[in-house]
Amino acid sequence: MRILVTGGAGYIGSHTVRQLLARGHQVWVYDNLSYGHRGAVPAECLVVGDLNEAHKLDHLLLSERIEACVHFAASTYVGESVRDPAKYYQNNLTNALTLLECLRKQGVGRFVFSSTAATFGVPEKMPITEETPQQPINPYGRSKLTLEYVLADYAAAYQWGFAALRYFNASGAAADGSIGEDHDPETHLIPLVIQAAVGQRPHIEVFGTDYPTPDGTCVRDYIHVDDLGSAHVLALEKLQPGQGLRFNLGIGRGYSVREVIRTVEEVTGKKVPVKEGPRRPGDPPELIASSAKIQRELGWQPQYTDLKRIVESAWNWHKSHPRGYADRPKSNA
Ligand code: UFG
């Protein structure tokens, strides 16, 4: 297939692009490089552009005869979304609607969407299945859930086939250590703990030690970024017109913040300086996915089923790129 990947130079996008290319698809990465990295994708795939540039998108879709779209481009910081909801509705909804309309005009109705566990809010029962009510508690989650609704309407009215993939905690890096996680600012637990282990940060602050969990810290379902990538490839290849697929993506097992810290210590052989702090507002105590539906319906199987291997891959990336993509040659960074 000839595939447009928006946000394809970002963390999850770049790992998915590799898999699409390995499957023999042709890929055009459309990315404004606000979060993405030039060095994360093959130069010949990259088109630098913004989702609000409808003319640019129109031209690309038409001239390259695009047949499908995988849409990653979005703002993804929960805390920022509370402080600046306009940015989230603009980037994640208005700009996404521009993209959808460009696709619709060109008759492209095959679409895979990056959704999130944040669409579920604070569910009472674990694990979270596709039947769990979606009640997001922040603008980020609401912007993503709204696009899920929009896609359902497009599928019904225009025969689009779409998949909404709700990621739990994306983590890890490519097995060969050549691409990985590099956010600015970095807010995600595993890279922050690794940075604390090697002295790039004074310590890791544990956000809350009084949660109703076995050790008092939050529990999350960490899923390897390459396992997310393989889910996108499967969903894209299996989609039928008029079909709306919704899948939760995790490994079905939760790890606490303290367990993550211990695992980083084990993998790196270094002691992590820890400071216990208050809860971070908006953090649910526990988020664990059931991915039984995608396993059953698409035959998806995660290759990384324990935290240690996920952390090993993140450590491998960190060792070769201690400052992320800044450690790539300038022309490629
Ligand atoms: N944490 C700390 N200290 C830190 C950073 C994180 O204790 O310095 C804790 C958090 O409180 C949380 C866990 O580590 O319990 C994981 O935090 P992350 O920020 O790595 O990930 P989140 O679970 O907050 O966020 C993830 C995705 C978001 C998504 C959200 C859904 O990264 O995109 O899940 O709830 F919106």
Q: Report percent pLDDT > 70 for the chain.
A: 98
Q: What is the pLDDT of residue 331?
A: 45
In whole angstroms, how large is the CA radius of gyration of the chain? 19
Q: Which of 126, 189, 209 to mutate to test the pocket of ligand 1 (most atoms within 8 A of CB)?
A: 189
220 ligand 1 Cβ < 6 A: yes
Sign of the alpha-carbon torsion through 13, 15, 21, 24 = negative
The DSSP-derived string for 178-226 is SS----SS---HHHHHHHHHTTSSS-EEEE-S-SSSTTSS-EE-EEEHH
Distance 243 CA to ligand 1 centre (A): 32
- DSSP helix/strand/coil, 140: helix
Distance 187 CA to ligand 1 centre (A): 7
Task: For residue range 13-37, list pLDDT tens digits in order.
Answer: 999 999 999 999 999 999 999 999 9
Distance 308 CA to ligand 1 centre (A): 18
Distance 217 CA to ligand 1 centre (A): 11
Q: Which of 75, 138, 188 to mutate to test the pocket of ligand 1 (most atoms within 8 A of CB)?
A: 188
246 ligand 1 Cβ < 6 A: no
Q: Which atom of ligand 1 is nearest to the CA of 171?
A: 20
- Order the strands of the 2-6 sheet from edge to edge: 46-48, 26-31, 2-6, 68-71, 110-116, 161-167, 244-249
Distance CA 31, CA 50 (A): 7
pLDDT band at 327 (very low <50, low <70, confident <90, very high): confident
Residue type, 22: A
Total-model pTM: 0.97
Q: Is 156 a residue whose pLDDT tops 50? A: yes
Q: What is the pLDDT of residue 109?
A: 97
Q: Is 330 a residue whose pLDDT tops 70? A: no
CB contact set of 124 (below 8 Å; sequence gap of 6+): none
Q: Does domain 2-171+223-249 have CATH number 3.10.50.40?
A: no
